[in-house]
Chains A and B, each alone.
Chain A
């Protein structure tokens, strides 16, 4: 079990990353808050010894993603649209960035994780495969397809860089 000080430090360092994962999946600020709490409670009760800060962050992201998925399977959650979520979020200053956020939130869930972890958190496909417990080739496929879907939604490449290792 971790100490309260360790939890406080983890919240300060990784709270924003966990909050982003929650918003990415849950489309509902109330659910996002519940899962945020659940993640750090789990961190307090069950986190292993970490070999590095990166290992710690990856563990938290994985727990957050799994907790969001578990909640999404529940028939009791309140279902909301992306528009309701975006109305609750602080708007990015740039309209183009807002469009990107809207587009990412509207993607099927399997693409959101890999795109966010790669393009925002900067993980490689191999690292993403470890976090999501997927095959590396699957991650490459999801990144390519997700990128294609984003292009279709926002009418242009979200960035000029190809996915590392993509075809």
Chain B
């Protein structure tokens, strides 16, 4: 064990008070209510239990939000209300947590970004918080954006990047964007912004080295903003 870690954490110990409280709780619970719980379970009508199981299974296999990991290629995960991956267009393990699935994909894709598509506000917020810790740029998009992106043959993140790039160079097409990775598109945008006179347009924002904001409406988050 590294000595610095040992010094840092050896000072953190359970107090005698904590230990005594825990033992008191254990003694108090000895001979207590566990049998009552079993009795309660026996009294739940079987049909209610069956209904809960059926509804639970239905919910489990219902996708409520999508998460795209966009690097050189894009993998889109379908996620259920319990934040579990129930489908993926890029293969990989199913029924694991979305966070774990994204971590695995990021481990294989250098410079990838994450886009959370659709979903209710609570789940979007919850996933956004956990996925931001993955250390990759994380953004959200509406289902309309996702449809527009699909119509252009691009992933959402790449579609936004294409729009930002197109704002700076009108000769760029969706096919041009499709041939490049996200990182390459960001580099193109950064290079163009470096050549542009200073100032902001109505639909783009620039930062000191990053990408501009996509023209598509979304949640107002800056494209490529690092968490």
Chain A interface (Cβ < 8 Å from any Cβ of B): 4, 7-8, 11-12, 15-16, 18-20, 23, 33, 36-37, 39-41, 44-45, 89-94, 96-98, 100-101, 104, 108-111, 116, 119-122, 134-135, 137-138, 140-142, 145, 158-159, 161
Check A116/B100 contact, CB under 8 A, given A15-B18, A141-B106, A141-B107. no
Check A4/B103 contact, CB under 8 A, given A15-B14, A18-B14, A20-B9. no
Residue of A92, A96, A135 near B103 (CB, 8 A) is: A135
Distance A94 CA – B2 CA, assembled complex (angstroms): 14
Shortest A77–chain B CB gap in Å is: 16
Chain B interface (Cβ < 8 Å from any Cβ of A): 1-2, 4-15, 17-19, 21-23, 25-27, 29-30, 34, 93, 96, 99-100, 103-104, 106-107, 130, 133, 135
Q: Which residues of B contact A159 (CB under 8 A)?
A: 2, 4-5
8 contacting pairs across A/B (C-beta < 8 A): A37-B22, A45-B29, A90-B13, A92-B11, A97-B11, A120-B1, A122-B1, A158-B5
- 10 nearest interchain CB pairs? A97-B7, A15-B14, A19-B14, A159-B2, A97-B8, A101-B8, A108-B133, A138-B103, A40-B22, A100-B8
A interface SS class: helix
Check A4/B30 contact, CB under 8 A, given A18-B14, A138-B103. yes
Q: Which residues of A contact B130 (CB under 8 A)?
A: 110
Q: Are B14 and A11 in contact (CB under 8 A)?
A: yes
Which residue of chain A is the closest to B16 with respect to CB atoms?
A15
Shortest B95–chain A CB gap in Å is: 13
Check A100/B14 contact, CB under 8 A, given A20-B9, A135-B103, A142-B103. no
Q: Which residues of B contact A142 (CB under 8 A)?
A: 103
Q: Which residues of A contact B99 (CB under 8 A)?
A: 110
B interface SS class: helix
Q: Are B5 and A100 in contact (CB under 8 A)?
A: yes
Task: Count A-B contacts at CB 8 Å.
Answer: 128
Q: Are B26 and A7 in contact (CB under 8 A)?
A: yes
Shortest A12–chain B CB gap in Å is: 8
Q: Are A37 and B21 in contact (CB under 8 A)?
A: yes
Distance A93 CA – B130 CA, assembled complex (angstroms): 34
Distance A101 CA – B6 CA, assembled complex (angstroms): 10
From B13, B15, B26, B99, residue with most partner A Cβ within 10 Å? B26
Q: Are B11 and A96 in contact (CB under 8 A)?
A: no
Residue of A19, A98, A104, A161 near B2 (CB, 8 A) is: A161
Distance A40 CA – B99 CA, assembled complex (angstroms): 29
Check A36/B1 contact, CB under 8 A, given A138-B103, A142-B103. no
Q: Which residues of B contact A19 (CB under 8 A)?
A: 12-15, 18
Distance A138 CA – B98 CA, assembled complex (angstroms): 12
Q: Are A158 and B2 in contact (CB under 8 A)?
A: yes
Residue of A37, A135, A145 near B104 (CB, 8 A) is: A135
Q: Which residues of B contact A18 (CB under 8 A)?
A: 14
Q: Are A145 and B135 in contact (CB under 8 A)?
A: yes
Q: Which residues of B contact A101 (CB under 8 A)?
A: 8-9, 11-12
Q: Which residues of B contact A89 (CB under 8 A)?
A: 11-12
Q: Are A110 and B1 in contact (CB under 8 A)?
A: no
Q: Are B4 and A137 in contact (CB under 8 A)?
A: no
Q: Are B107 and A138 in contact (CB under 8 A)?
A: yes
Q: Are A119 and B7 in contact (CB under 8 A)?
A: no
Distance A98 CA – B103 CA, assembled complex (angstroms): 30
Q: Are A7 and B23 in contact (CB under 8 A)?
A: yes
From B1, B17, B130, B135, residue with most partner A Cβ within 10 Å? B135
Q: Are A137 and B12 in contact (CB under 8 A)?
A: no
